[in-house]
Amino acid sequence: MSLDRLKADVLHKLRVGLFGGISRPHLSLKGHNQIPQDSCQAPWEPAPWKHDLLLLRYMTAAPCHMTLPTLSDLDALRRVGDPLADAVVASLSNIGRPIRFEEVQRAAAQGDAACERFVQVTATPPDWVRWSRIERGRRLFVRTHVLSSAALLLGGMIESYTNPHIAEVLTYSGRLVESSRRRIMETGQMVYDTHLPDGLRPGAQGWRTLLQIRLLHGHIRFHLSKRRGSNADAPINQEDSAYTHLMFDVGVAEGLCKLGVTWSAEERQLHHEFWRLAGWFLGVDPVLLPASEREAVDLRSRIRGRHFAVDANAIELTQALLEGVELEPPFFLPKTTLFALTRRLQGRPISNALQIPQSRIHRLLVRSIRRPLSGFGWLLREVQPLEKLSHEVGQRYGQWIIARGLEGRPATFETRGNDGRP
């Protein structure tokens, strides 16, 4: 086959979204066209002069070997919680106090089989972990702390509210609406703990935080299951857990792109590997933890397309989140600017459905910062002293924000009582 013929064939496959596991969102979400698309989701239409570079990139890229879950697989995973954590909660359900990880360790030492299994499994990271890559992935979020937080809170978290199943559980817990500022800061503490140096290594603070959250989810599931009955989907089931987890993973990368900060393919993969390990400790099924960032993007699109809907819970949760961060950490921005940022991250159709007001002045302001931020992203990648400085500033700022936002009362990620509410 001639080189021209080969190039034409590969370019055709790029356009239809079949080459190397790439899927363009409007294809992977066929039948769900109410979900708007964004250039950050589908960067597969390059300028003509870039075609040869794309050919080289994708013809030499490692192939995607994982087969993503089918729709029937995802249906089945909706009935699965977290067997490891659920067994612990069932075993310790009569202790009469919140289940802490330290309690699980003590029970394991005393011979409780479920607790012993939980401790053993979570103390041994999977074989695919490469700690040098985890460390590189960890730094990416920290070095653009405020922008990464915007991509997560105003982008990923609000997007997760458009999944009615997730919004229902969050509304039931009540705390995001009743104590939105503290709940947001508790999420920030989880992110901060995991992004400490070596934070995901067994025994580290980030590792302990993830396991405590995993037990909290098991406790909520234990009590909500009693209310729902045996024929309903499991609360905080595997599909919903994976979708929420992907908001921290590929959702942050996409949000940063919309704000102007673009990561290289290698950086996106490193960030994905970091959160893949975090998801493993949180109890997400390995079938929902793809090895490559491209597969993670496809999986997120597949799950999103199945459940996307804006309901009253989504609107209430969105309003609570925006009110919780108005003139507060980590942004210290007025609500009008928060509206503009959120509309940029969510797009017009979803923003309108969520009843997020628009302001022409603030919209233009948000658009005007994209080009400088694009240059900033490139500088962080190419200038090591600047990357180190930005990382140090981000680490210190995160520490200050958490201390200020939680007012000296660190999150324990425990339940308040016997109804499963955190």
* pLDDT score at 33: 36
Residue 354, classified by CB atoms within 10 Å of its CB into exposed (0-12), middle (13-18) or buried (19+), is: buried
Tell me the per-residue pLDDT of 48-92, one tens digit each, with 9 for 90 and over.
333 334 333 333 344 445 688 999 999 999 999 999 999 999 999
Contacts of 402 (CB under 8 A, 6+ apart): 185, 188, 189, 192, 410
- Measured CA to CA, the distance from residue 358 to residue 360 in angstroms comes to 7
> Residues of 131-162 as b/e, b for ≥16 C-beta within 10 angstroms?
eeebbbbbbbbbbbbbbbbbbbbbbbbbbbbb
In which residue are the tokens 């979570």 written?
122
* pLDDT score at 8: 53
- Measured CA to CA, the distance from residue 420 to residue 82 in angstroms comes to 16
Residue stretches of the chain with pLDDT short of 70: 1-39, 41-66, 173-178, 229-230, 415-422
Domain ranges of the chain: 3-63, 76-406
- Nearest CA among 61, 51, 19, 38 for reference residue 264: 61
* pLDDT score at 365: 80
* pLDDT score at 232: 82
* pLDDT score at 46: 34
* pLDDT score at 180: 84
